[in-house]
Structure 1
Amino acid sequence: MIPNVLSIAGSDPSGGAGVQADIKAISANGAFAMAAITALTAQNTQGVTGIHPVPPAFVQAQITAIFADIRVDAIKIGMIANAEIAAAVADALQGNSDIPIVLDPVMIAKGGAALLEPEAVDTLRASLLPMATVLTPNLPEAAHLLGMAIATTRDEMAAQGAALCALGAKAALIKGGHLDEPHSPDYLVITEAVTWCDANRADTSNTHGTGCTLSSALAAQLAKGLPRAAATAAAKSYVAQAIAHADALFVGTGHGPTHHFASLYAQ
């Protein structure tokens, strides 16, 4: 049976990030994609020029409608925009602790625009982080959640991963793309078990939406029943392929999208 995955995130009209990327990544990883939209954005490959949050009650209504009718096998949470939406999402998901949840704490767009209001960080940390089967922050996001300096070494990444699990996340995948080294290392912490996932860096500017894509692919793999470590490896392999083939696309003049369906096009 094909699993159903719900993305709770913002919309990117350029198609490279947000629910548009989530739907592509979930579909490419063998699951049926659904989406509850938390915010509309005006953006392209060069940056974000506007954000219009969806009223929290309507965000909750979207999620409630899905659960009233459709089996949900995994959830990905991305951009939540503000504290009120974070609280609405948390309320809507109460009583569904058996469903894997991938929480991607989207705070800053690739071009530098803020996608999460500062006062929402506390609500995200208190209400959503403890629900996470896997938390997937990049280095600036992990540091912001912890109130610490951004990690610059693998040892600091490891320490911050453990600290995030201590806050309640069942596992944390710290994405090390911001590290200044030849590889792009990710660090997966599951209780006391830790795994380094290295990948070669691709020489491309088409990296818009990589965080959305990874977290959605991971949710799809968890929905298919893979354990967290295996699901993480599968998702990371998928994203590496999407980045490696991204130059086949010509979408915009800034940070272009990854190629979500590279394997399909190759056929």
Structure 2
Amino acid sequence: MTNRLPLTAPGHTPRRVMTIAGSDSGGSAGLQADMRTFAMLGVHGSAAVTAVTVQNSLGVRAFHEVPVGVVAAQISAVASDIGIEAAKTGMLASTDIIRAIVATWSAEKLTGRVPFVVDPVCASNAGEPLLHPSALDAMRDELIPLATLVTPNLDEVRLLVGIDVVDVATQRDAARALHALGPQWALVKGGHLRTSRISSDLLFDGSEFHEFAAARVDTRDDHGAGDTLGAAITAALAHGYSVPDAVAFGKTWVTECIRQAYPLGHGLGPVNGMAGLYR
């Protein structure tokens, strides 16, 4: 397993991936982090913007949802012309937006054909809501069953399946409960389980567990880590990696980005999505 994907030769079309996510005005997370990661990994990134957030390093002050018809039209426009070889979601904001994505994914015949990573973003790092509570049912019942891989953090696990992950046993329980919602694979990220010096993510396909561990990086500047991980996994899936290999690649990538995180503003700084430039 290398820490960089194979690059397409100059003059040839690179792999085509999409992020369906909200915009971060501070540039640290959301679709900005996704597109930065896509560019660093040599894939062509397209975007369907779901919401515009008003935020900086101190937190999210407000957000404005993009009309559902515009969200759906962005996906259709790209799928019908440029093509999509893998995709991920981020902030989806509302039930109506989730249902528009589900309907469009089916209408464009992408279901089961295009690797689909669902990052069930529910709140910012500072705890501000980024998904209406009423949309959790649509997330569970309609979107997650379409996913090749679902990648919640521990707070999102609690909201989705009601399990507080405090150790290895409860992390496995959470992975089983998430997989029961219908995705092909469930990844329970352990980055927020700060009782250990090891950050361990657990992947489950319904029968077998795969563990991905890395030494925990001592930093408070980790804004955009989840987005960066999901985007790196998506890029690897577009290159034909298996899900376990894509997760291993993403884990290696984001760990280095966290090691090179930098302070920004007066709050939480971002992981360094440009870390690969220094290799």
Q: TM-score, normalised by structure 1?
A: 0.96
Structure 1 unaligned residues grouped into runs of 5+: none
Equivalent of 2:58 in 36, 46, 50: 46
Instruction: Tell me by how many angstroms 1:198 deviates.
Output: 1.0
SS at match of 1:152: coil
Correspondence for 2:167:
153
Correspondence for 2:188:
174
Correspondence for 1:35:
47
Equivalent of 1:99 in 103, 111, 114: 114
> Residue 64 of structure 1 aligns to which amino acid in structure 2?
S
Stretches of 4+ aligned residues off by more than 6 angstroms: none
SS at match of 2:198: coil
Where do 1:68-217 residues align within 5 Å? Answer: 68-94=80-106, 95-97=109-111, 98-146=113-161, 148-179=162-193, 180-217=195-232
Correspondence for 1:241:
256
> Residue 260 of structure 1 aligns to which amino acid in structure 2?
G
Equivalent of 1:59 in 54, 66, 71: 71
> 2:163·2:170 contact (CA, 8 Å) conserved in 1?
no
> 2:21·2:89 contact (CA, 8 Å) conserved in 1?
yes
Alpha-carbon distance between aligned partners in 2 of 1:30 and 1:233, rounded to the nearest angstrom: 18
> 1:76·1:216 contact (CA, 8 Å) conserved in 2?
yes
Correspondence for 2:4:
none
Instruction: Tell me by how many angstroms 1:26 deviates.
Output: 1.6
> 1:77·1:104 contact (CA, 8 Å) conserved in 2?
yes
Alpha-carbon distance between aligned partners in 1 of 2:182 and 2:62, rounded to the nearest angstrom: 33
Correspondence for 1:11:
23
> 2:157·2:163 contact (CA, 8 Å) conserved in 1?
no
> Residue 218 of structure 1 aligns to which amino acid in structure 2?
I
SS at match of 1:184: strand
> 1:205·1:254 contact (CA, 8 Å) conserved in 2?
no
Correspondence for 2:237:
222
Give a deviation string over 1:92-137, Cα, whole Å, max 9, x none. Answer: 1112121000000000100110000000000111111011101000
Alpha-carbon distance between aligned partners in 1 of 2:93 and 2:104, rounded to the nearest angstrom: 16
After superposition, the CA RMSD in angstroms is 1.1
Instruction: Tell me by how many angstroms 1:227 deviates.
Output: 0.3
> 2:16·2:84 contact (CA, 8 Å) conserved in 1?
yes
> 2:95·2:134 contact (CA, 8 Å) conserved in 1?
yes
> Residue 115 of structure 1 aligns to which amino acid in structure 2?
L
Instruction: Tell me by how many angstroms 1:140 deviates.
Output: 1.4
Alpha-carbon distance between aligned partners in 1 of 2:172 and 2:187, rounded to the nearest angstrom: 10
Instruction: Tell me by how many angstroms 1:149 deviates.
Output: 3.4
Identity of aligned residues (%): 39
Where do 1:252-263 residues align within 5 Å? Answer: 252-263=265-276
> Residue 66 of structure 1 aligns to which amino acid in structure 2?
V
